[in-house]
């Protein structure tokens, strides 16, 4: 006699049909009641599986669905198709979010089940390397200077540079401009972080871009929400930096979402590179020597340094592919000392001279 109950065996059994088949075969030879005693169940159960086996064969020993014939709350096919379309629309959003946004009347569990049956279920968080690959492909499609980023960097947190900065009165801030599709970089330096300095640098860049016809019909200059770009947080009018960017027809100043620092990853990457390749290894005699070496590094970056994330090509090679008529002068712009530019603007205010050339020549022009 089987010491374990029939229903307990069914709960733990991996192949219910085989166990029932053995019970049916035993019942055919020894009778229903004898099989019920041996398999520790009741005669009606033995008769049920015996009759199903005789009418349907081995397949009849499977469990039958207990789904009711009439289901008033059953999801209609039209509603299922609508829920499936919502998944294709919202892609990586979960059932709870989709239910809230679209006011779906089904519970999140039902929504997930419909997605799973349709083969459009959530595939999990996208891998970081995959996201980067997708972004690179999108940036390749940009026109030259369709999008550029401006940002600043505090140089006081570089140990190898800090002592030199203090002893030789070297710049304490870096202003960086980087074109997104090809990685062209222009830099400037100052001791202060201010809206005036960033506006002067924007004018310096704009004059260069206009001189060489680099800007397309529509372009974006992106920055963070720092006061050096937008001015006061509660200002009612556009800042001088924003007005300078908008001075060129088709060029627009755009800021990132608050806290979305990854949106500035292109220019932040440059900050890390220039720290490793320039500030940590170079020694400077004085401020003039600093700007000479900064100009050399910028030339190296734009013309000689291959970018492993951009097919091992230099910014010049990538820019040349997008604009075959481009001349090298378009990627040559000496780093400007913004502190000198601010002082010379005050000196030249009445004369109306162009102060946005080489900062060492500004004083002479006055």
Query: What's the burial of 211, exposed, middle or buried (CB within 10 Å: 0-12/13-18/19+)?
Result: exposed
Q: What's the confidence (pLDDT) of residue 260?
A: 74
pLDDT at 16: 87
Query: Can you give the residue ranges of every domain in the chain?
Result: 6-61, 77-118, 132-365
**Tokens encoding 307:** 């970018």
Q: How far is CA 291 from the centre of its chain?
A: 34
Q: Is residue 260 a contact partner of residue 222, using CB atoms and an 8 Å limit?
A: no
CA distance 151 to 225: 10
Q: Could you report the per-residue pLDDT of 12-51, keeping only the tens digit for each?
A: 888 888 989 999 999 999 999 999 998 889 999 999 999 9
Distance CA 302, CA 292 (A): 16
Q: Name the 3-class secondary structure at 191.
A: coil
* pLDDT tens, the chain, 366 aa long: 455 677 888 888 888 889 899 999 999 999 999 999 988 899 999 999 999 999 999 999 988 888 777 777 888 899 999 999 998 888 878 888 889 888 898 999 999 999 988 888 766 565 655 555 556 677 778 899 999 999 999 999 999 999 999 999 999 999 999 999 999 999 999 999 999 999 999 999 999 999 999 988 999 999 999 999 999 888 889 999 999 999 999 999 999 987 776 788 888 888 999 999 999 999 999 999 999 999 999 999 999 999 888 888 999 999 999 999 999 999 999 999 999 999 888 777 655 544 444 444 443 433
**Do 223 and 149 form a contact (C-beta atoms < 8 A)?**
yes
* Residue 119 pLDDT: 86
Per-residue burial over 6-30, b if 16 or more Cβ lie within 10 Å, else e, is: beeeeeeeeeebebbeebbebbeee
| Alpha carbon separation from 283 to 33, 279, 290, 352 (Å, rounded) | 99, 8, 8, 38
Q: pLDDT tens across 244-303, in order?
A: 999 999 999 999 987 776 788 888 888 999 999 999 999 999 999 999 999 999 999 999
Assign a CATH topology to domain 132-365.
Answer: Nucleotidyltransferase; domain 5 (3.30.420)
């Amino acid at each position: 006699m089987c010491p374990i109950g029939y229903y307990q065996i069914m709960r733990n059994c991996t192949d219910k049909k085989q166990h029932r088949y053995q019970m049916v075969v035993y019942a055919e030879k020894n009778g229903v009641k004898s099989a019920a005693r041996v398999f520790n169940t009741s005669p009606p159960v033995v008769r049920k599986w015996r009759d199903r086996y005789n009418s349907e064969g081995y397949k009849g020993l499977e469990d039958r669905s207990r789904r009711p014939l009439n289901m008033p709350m059953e999801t209609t096919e039209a509603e299922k198709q609508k829920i499936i379309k919502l998944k294709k629309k919202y892609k990586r959003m979960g059932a709870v979010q989709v239910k809230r946004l679209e006011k779906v009347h089904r519970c999140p569990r039902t929504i997930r089940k419909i997605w799973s049956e349709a083969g459009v279920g959530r595939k999990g968080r996208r891998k970081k390397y995959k996201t980067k690959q997708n972004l690179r492909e999108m940036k390749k499609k940009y026109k030259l200077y369709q999008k550029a980023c401006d940002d600043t960097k505090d140089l006081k947190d570089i140990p190898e540079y800090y002592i030199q900065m203090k002893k030789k009165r070297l710049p304490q801030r870096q202003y960086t401009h980087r074109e997104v599709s090809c990685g062209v970089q222009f830099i400037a330096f100052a001791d202060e972080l201010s809206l005036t300095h960033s506006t002067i640098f924007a004018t310096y860049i704009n004059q260069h871009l206009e001189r060489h016809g680099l800007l397309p019909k529509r372009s974006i200059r992106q920055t963070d929400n720092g006061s050096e770009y937008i001015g006061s947080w509660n200002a009612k009018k556009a800042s001088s930096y924003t007005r300078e960017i908008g001075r060129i027809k088709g060029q627009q100043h755009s800021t990132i979402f608050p806290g979305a620092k990854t949106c500035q990853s292109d220019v932040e990457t440059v900050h890390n590179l220039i720290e490793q390749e320039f500030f940590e290894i170079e020694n400077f005699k004085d401020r003039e020597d600093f700007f000479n070496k900064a100009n050399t590094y910028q030339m190296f970056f734009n013309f000689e340094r291959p970018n492993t994330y951009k097919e091992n090509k230099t910014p010049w090679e990538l820019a040349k592919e997008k604009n075959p008529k481009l001349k090298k002068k378009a990627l040559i712009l000496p780093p400007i000392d913004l502190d000198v530019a601010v002082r010379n603007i005050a000196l030249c205010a009445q004369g109306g001279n162009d102060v946005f050339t080489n900062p060492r020549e500004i004083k002479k022009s006055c």
